[in-house]
Amino acid sequence: MSNGKIKKIGVLTSGGDSQGMNAAVRAVVRHGIANGLEVYGIYEGYKGLVDGGEKIRKFTAADVANIVGRGGTTIYSARLVGFREEWAMQQGIRNARELGIDGLVTIGGDGTFRGAYDLCMRGFPCIGIPGSIDNDITCTDRTIGFDTATNITVRCIDSLRDTDESHMRCNVIEAMGRNAGYIALYAGIACGATGIVIKEDLGYSEDSLLEKIRAARLHGKRNIMVVVSEGVEGYSEKLAGTIQEKTGIETKFARLAHIVRGGSPTAEDRLLATRMGTAAVDMLIAGEQNKFVCLRDNRIVGVDIQYAIMNDNLYKARFTPAVRAKLTDESKSRFSKEQLDEMEALCDLRENEIKDLLRIADTTSTY
Ligand code: F6P
């Protein structure tokens, strides 16, 4: 039950939507009410917090009925670029406080956590939940929506494979994932793709891929699937042309884009969302704030948001020059050597997992 300090909380979804966000909202609302809290739904993310009025509504348990299996986010989302401006943050806090809201659960990707961190630094308690199809937040083993988006990607690739098999074609498929290649990697393995291209693969060689495609065709393979992550910017469509030109194999191109971001969440995403939503409420009740709810080795844990952001930057810097350029000694100096070592160890773990998966993707698709 509530410790008496926190009485009213808000919940919002922000940034790109992901399947399972509704299940997380439902969990926050129902678990909050069951623990004696009033819970407010904030429509359109941080924008709704700043706009206030009709966009902040008190929810009953019935208000979140029948949304556990729905895709999208029923409280809507927005990318509010200006939220980091001081006036916007102060206005958001004022709107919440006027209603007596004394804590917030924010569901979204890395931009959402930055917003939550900024609010915490201004004395407004927040807990973040990772909702993103990309599985692109280093501190958590899984983000909500990844499993569903990966399964939809698999179904799309399987469909393409049927027609490619009939017509003896190659197909390059661009999978979603701006900063992380997990969807391409997982779906590519699950579909037996001949090639997987993600920006985390620093050893990628186009010549080797072309050689592998030629060898597969020589061995009689009719359908040849190549999955490229969106994060390898401007490459996928070009690669389709290159394959056709250099191997002589007719090659089609498909960009799956947002089609994989909608639809009903899988059981795994619904369960993860429910675990994370209830944990976020428990953390606020326990007086915690500035935490990010993570899944680690199938346990739900809270990680300091600033720590999670730095860990994320350290990891992404390994593959993304723009992130590397922004990583200053000054930003690192806020953490102890032990903390930075611990973060690098997690980065190694993530990187090694990807290397292992790339290795088995290769050996299991080689003729
Ligand atoms: O981060 C999730 C994601 O779906 C990425 O895979 C994709 O690059 C991006 O969001 C698309 O963003 P938007 O919805 O703004 O087009």
Q: Is any ligand 1 atom within 6 A of the Cβ of residue 133?
A: yes
What does the pLDDT look like over 140-158, one tens digit per residue? Answer: 999 999 999 999 999 999 9
What is the model's pLDDT at position 330?
Answer: 86
What is the model's pLDDT at position 222?
Answer: 97
- Number of residues that this document lists for the chain: 367
Q: Is any ligand 1 atom within 6 A of the Cβ of residue 132?
A: yes
Distance (angstroms) between ligand 1 centre and the Cα of 65 equals 28
**Contact yes or no for 267/19 (Cβ under 8 A):** no
What does the pLDDT look like over 121-147, one tens digit per residue? Answer: 999 999 999 999 999 999 999 999 999
What does the pLDDT look like over 260-302, one tens digit per residue? Answer: 999 999 999 999 999 999 999 999 999 999 999 999 999 999 9
Rounded CA separation 116/114 (Å)? 5
What is the model's pLDDT at position 220?
Answer: 96
CB atoms within 10 A of CB 191: 22
Atom 6 in ligand 1: which residue has the minimum CA distance? Answer: 177
What does the pLDDT look like over 196-249, one tens digit per residue? Answer: 999 999 999 999 999 999 999 999 999 999 999 999 999 999 999 999 999 999
What is the model's pLDDT at position 2?
Answer: 59
* Secondary element (H or E) of residue 161: helix 146-167
Q: Is any ligand 1 atom within 6 A of the Cβ of residue 178?
A: yes
Atom 8 in ligand 1: which residue has the minimum CA distance? Answer: 178
Q: Name the token pair of 48.
A: 């709704």
What amino acid occupies position 148? Answer: T
CB atoms within 10 A of CB 204: 16
CB atoms within 10 A of CB 15: 22
Whole-structure pTM value: 0.96
Pocket test for ligand 1, best of 134, 174, 198, 233 (most atoms within 8 A of CB): 134
Among residues 188, 216, 213, the alpha carbon closest in space to that of 200 is found at: 188
What amino acid occupies position 338? Answer: E
- The three-state DSSP-derived secondary structure of 285-304 is HCCCCCEEEEEECCEEEEEE
Atom 15 in ligand 1: which residue has the minimum CA distance? Answer: 16
Q: Is any ligand 1 atom within 6 A of the Cβ of residue 269?
A: no
Mind listing the domains of the chain with CATH numbers? 8-145+265-305 (3.40.50.450), 149-260+353-364 (3.40.50.460)
What is the model's pLDDT at position 290?
Answer: 95
Is 134 one of the annotated active-site residues of the chain?
A: yes
Q: Name the token pair of 316.
A: 């992404």
Q: What is the CA radius of gyration of the chain?
A: 22
What does the pLDDT look like over 3-46, one tens digit per residue? Answer: 668 999 999 999 999 999 999 999 999 999 999 999 999 999 99
- Buried b / exposed e along 28-49 (16+ C-beta atoms within 10 A): bbbbbbebebbbbbbbbbbbbb
Rounded CA separation 295/275 (Å)? 9
What is the model's pLDDT at position 3?
Answer: 63
* Secondary element (H or E) of residue 283: helix 267-285
Q: Which atom, in ligand 1's list, is nearest to the CA of 177? A: 6
Q: Is any ligand 1 atom within 6 A of the Cβ of residue 230?
A: yes
What is the model's pLDDT at position 294?
Answer: 98
Atom 13 in ligand 1: which residue has the minimum CA distance? Answer: 16
CB atoms within 10 A of CB 197: 25
Name the DSSP letter for residue 213: H
What does the pLDDT look like over 52-109, one tens digit per residue? Answer: 999 999 999 999 999 999 999 999 998 777 788 999 999 999 999 999 999 999 999 9
**Contact yes or no for 71/149 (Cβ under 8 A):** no
**Which of 17, 118, 134, 164 is flagged as catalytic?**
134
